[in-house]
Amino acid sequence: MRIGYELGYAENLTKPTDLRNPDHCPSKPMTQLERLYVSTFGIPDTVKQQQAREVFSILDKLSFSSVLDIGCAQGHYSIRIARKYPDSKVKGIDISKEDLNVGRLVKRKFSLKNLAFEKRDVCVDSINEKYDLVVLLQVIEHLRDDRAALKEIRQIISNKGHLIITAPNIESQIIDWLKSYVTVEGHFREGYKLEELVQMLVNANFKIKQIRYLSGTIGQFAQKVETYLKNQSFLSFCIIISFS
């Protein structure tokens, strides 16, 4: 699986100008060579690629007809879900108009009639529709009031629906050590301990069916190394990530 490779077909694909603060910095267009790289290898992030393999292994076992991708960014999950499950209706929401425009362009290129993108903030805007499946992937740490957001999300999931949520793990001492060398700003919190996130979900009236670590310490270490390489030498990063 190469999650996000479809985005390489978008001429308006962008990247942050400051990888240490990607959520609060201007973006600039990717070059034609960078778009070719994405269309060949997918999103250049080993942890996201591993996460995608885990997420879709779960989706293959579920039954759903409507999907909400919260914090969809440029839509790599929304697009892949819409393509892989054409009988489902998929909506991706995000607060970034620029990112959503990338997703909309790819949607048109692949003629995805079962996919829609909408500018919406789950922490502010009311969502009145019900969904069989909600995905919240590496997003909750970006939300100012994460507990309130989970309670709101619980209300929009159908009776037999599911939530798939992923978040950074902060239980590793190695990651604490790496913070002094590589820190990415823009999150309201660095991540969660497993028991903390579980308790938040229980408090929001979710019934937990499955818990697993996506990548563990090694994966988090790899992500920190990737961030460092991106800042130091994008060429070196591309060469390494291509073989990971």
60-69, 157-166, 234-243: the lowest-pLDDT one = 234-243
- Does the pLDDT of residue 103 top 70, yes or no? yes
> What pLDDT does 41 receive?
87
| Token digits of residue 64 | 């759903």
pTM flag (> 0.75): yes
CB 21 within 8 A of CB 110: no
Q: What angle do CA 93, 27, 43 make, to 5 degrees?
A: 65
Task: Return the amino acid letter for 161.
Answer: G
Domain-by-domain residue ranges, the chain? 5-242
Q: What is the widest separation between alpha-carbon atoms in the chain?
A: 49
pLDDT tens digits, one per residue of 164-185: 999 988 765 455 545 544 455 5
* Residue partners of 41: CB distance under 8 A and separation at least 6: 2, 5, 241, 242
Query: Do 10 and 105 form a contact (C-beta atoms < 8 A)?
Result: yes
Average pLDDT score over the chain: 85
Which stretch of DSSP H or E encloses residue 219?
A: helix 216-232
Per residue in 129-168, pLDDT (tens digit) is 999 999 999 999 989 899 999 999 999 999 999 999 999 8
| φ and ψ of 217, to 5 deg | -65, -40
Element (H, E) at 177: helix 173-178
Packed helices 216-232 and 46-59: angle between N→C axes, nearest 10 degrees? 140
- pLDDT bin (cut points 50, 70, 90) of residue 221 is low
Who's near 159: CB < 8 A, 6+ residues apart? Answer: none
DSSP state of 206: P
Is the pLDDT score of 242 beyond 60?
no
Q: What is the second-level CATH architecture of the domain 5-242?
A: 3-Layer(aba) Sandwich (3.40)
